[in-house]
């Protein structure tokens, strides 16, 4: 963004280091959105784009991996907070957040990132660090549902988390099927999985 972050005069409410951090995060997201792969992204390129020295980056982050985790968390924003009323409502709220990112660069970055995560253990670790906090919210709602009796006691929480998120993500990010009605998809996935397919 600014090409002279380090030499800019300090403004009262916002210390120079915070502005530099933001410029560095923005530089990572801009480079990824422009088509850089995680693999080819270099600290040199990030520093040049942010208008800071490499030392400024290394003062704040241990390396590319830690910086990527912060940048992608910034991109995805805060996950929604379950309200705790009904399991159904909370699952719908969480699934509405799947594949929905407020930053417009996410549409460029996320579909390319998802397959990239498999190319190395480091990239897979970055991906897991980003999705785990969101996945934990889903797990907590499911465990609560088992406790309250809203859900069967024998459900496999990890499997159910996959069965909720997988269809929504596949359809939203990859447009898996042109024949699926996308309206209220999170609600319909949650309700179908809660009720099951066999007659009651």
How far is 75 from 80, CA to CA, in rounded Å?
A: 14
Using CB under 8 A as the binding rule, whether residue 82 contacts a second copy is answered as: no
Under the criterion CB under 8 A, does residue 34 sit at the interface with a second copy? no
Q: Are 167 and 109 in contact (CB under 8 A)?
A: no
**Residue choice 9, 13, 115, 121 for contact with a second copy (CB under 8 A):** 115
**Smallest separation, CB 46 to a second copy (Å):** 23
Stretch that binds a second copy, among 11-19, 53-61, 69-77, 187-195 (CB under 8 A): 187-195
Handedness of CA 185, 186, 191, 196 (dihedral sign): positive
Residue 183 in contact with a second copy, rule: CB under 8 A = no
Count of residues of this chain found to bind a second copy when the rule CB under 8 A is applied: 50
Q: Which is nearer to a second copy, 18 or 114 (CB)?
A: 114
Least Cα distance to 41 among 102, 101, 100, 112 occurs for 112
Q: Give the range of 11-19, 38-46, 68-76, 128-136 binding a second copy by CB under 8 A.
A: 128-136
Which of 112, 122, 130, 134: binder of a second copy (CB under 8 A)?
112
Could you tell me which stretch among 37-45, 64-72, 95-103, 113-121 binds a second copy (CB under 8 A)?
A: 113-121
Q: How far is the CB of 158 from a second copy (least distance, A)?
A: 5
Nearest Cα neighbor of 98 from 128, 122, 76 is 76
Contacting a second copy (CB under 8 A), which of 60, 143, 144, 188?
188
Which of 4, 55, 85, 159 is close enough to bind a second copy by CB under 8 A? 159
Closest to a second copy by CB, 52 vs 141, is: 141
**Site of interaction with a second copy (CB under 8 A):** 111-112, 114-115, 117-118, 124, 128, 131, 135, 145, 149-152, 155-156, 158-163, 165-171, 174-181, 185, 188-189, 192-200
């Amino acid at each position: 963004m600014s090409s002279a972050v380090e030499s800019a005069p300090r403004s009262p409410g916002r210390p120079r280091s915070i502005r530099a951090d933001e410029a560095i995060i923005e530089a990572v997201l801009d480079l990824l959105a422009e088509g850089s792969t995680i693999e080819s992204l270099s600290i040199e390129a990030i520093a040049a784009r942010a208008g800071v020295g490499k030392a400024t980056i290394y003062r704040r982050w241990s390396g590319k991996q830690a910086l990527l985790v912060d940048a992608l968390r910034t991109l995805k924003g805060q996950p929604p907070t379950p309200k705790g009323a009904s399991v159904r409502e909370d699952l719908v709220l969480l699934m509405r957040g799947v594949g929905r990112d407020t930053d417009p660069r996410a549409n460029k970055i996320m579909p390319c990132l998802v397959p990239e995560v498999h190319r190395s253990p480091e990239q897979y670790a970055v991906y897991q660090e980003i999705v785990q906090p969101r996945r934990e919210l889903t797990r907590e709602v499911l465990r609560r549902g088992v406790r309250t009796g809203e859900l069967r006691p024998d459900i496999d929480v990890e499997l159910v988390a996959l069965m909720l998120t997988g269809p929504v993500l596949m359809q939203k990010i990859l447009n898996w099927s042109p024949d699926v009605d996308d309206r209220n998809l999170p609600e319909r996935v949650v309700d179908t999985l809660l009720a099951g397919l066999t007659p009651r």
